[in-house]
Amino acid sequence: MRQRDPLPAASARPGTVRPGGRTARTRRSVLDAALAELVEVGYTETGVEKIAHRAGVAPSTIYRRWGSLQGVVADAAQQVMEENLTVPDTGDLEGDLAVLTRGIAALFRTTQYRAWMDVLVGSALEPGPARDTFASTTLNTRAEIGALIVKRAVDRGEVPPDTDPAELIRQTAAPLYYRIYISCEPINEIDTLRAAAVAATAARRGLLRGPL
């Protein structure tokens, strides 16, 4: 099996520059504080001042680097993804997607991640900043992971060149999120493998092409 790649960093978003030393420690403290606040009090009660107090920094530090609460939350979400998901390279599309679905299932078995996602998903049910943040973060993550998986699958001749990377990830993950948040069923190994197999089959048959 080939080496997996780390999830690419989306450096264009606020706060996503990755310098080292004191700046890196400050970023980590702020993002950890943001995640803790979200889990404890929910999105609507989380504020920049509360995050700053918990992280031991001035609110101006957060505003200067992230611009807003939404910028902090988006960067925190990206950090979670980067630390817990990798872009697989097994040499086969279905194998890559199976690694991904297993990773998603494993993430949801972690107490902190599940609590954080529950808060974010619940907040995103109503129009507003929480929904915008959640949508943009998941869209960016889908694009980043999907782009590499699809490129390799195209190079191997497995899928059409115009396969939509975001749609591939959407179709792969959707059955798992349905079980987690709609039917409230546990996810087992068969579920992860089935989701990967169905999405890979659809992509190979040209059903996940981008808009003409």
- Domain CATH number, residue 63: 1.10.10.60
Helices (H), 110-208: 111-123, 129-155, 165-181, 189-204
**What's the number of domains the chain is made of?**
2
Mean pLDDT computed over 62-85: 83
Is-contact 92 14, C-beta < 8 A? no
User: 97 and 16, same structural domain?
Assistant: no
3-state secondary structure of 209: strand
Residue 182 buriedness (CB in 10 A; 0-12 / 13-18 / 19+): exposed
pLDDT at res. 82: 72
Lowest mean pLDDT among 48-57, 118-127, 143-152, 172-181: 118-127
Please name the residues in contact with 66: beta carbons below 8 A apart, sequence gap of 6 or more.
14, 15, 30, 72, 75
Tell me which residue range forms the domain holding 43.
12-68
CATH classification at residue 126: 1.10.357.10
Asked if residue 210 has pLDDT above 90, the reply is: no
* The pLDDT value given to residue 44: 80
Mean pLDDT in residue range 46-62: 94
Residues 203/154, Cβ–Cβ less than 8 Å: no
Check whether 77 has a pLDDT greater than 50: yes
Q: Mark whether 121 and 179 lie in a shared domain.
A: yes
pTM, to two decimals? 0.75
Within a domain: residue 150? yes
What is the band of 132 on the pLDDT scale with cuts at 50, 70, 90? confident
- For residues 187 and 76, the model is more confident at 187
Checking if the pLDDT of 2 tops 60, the result is no
Is the predicted pLDDT of residue 10 greater than 90, yes or no? no
Q: How would residue 155 be classed by pLDDT, with cut points 50, 70 and 90?
A: very high
Taking the C-alpha atoms of residue 145 and residue 71, their distance in angstroms, rounded to an integer, is: 21
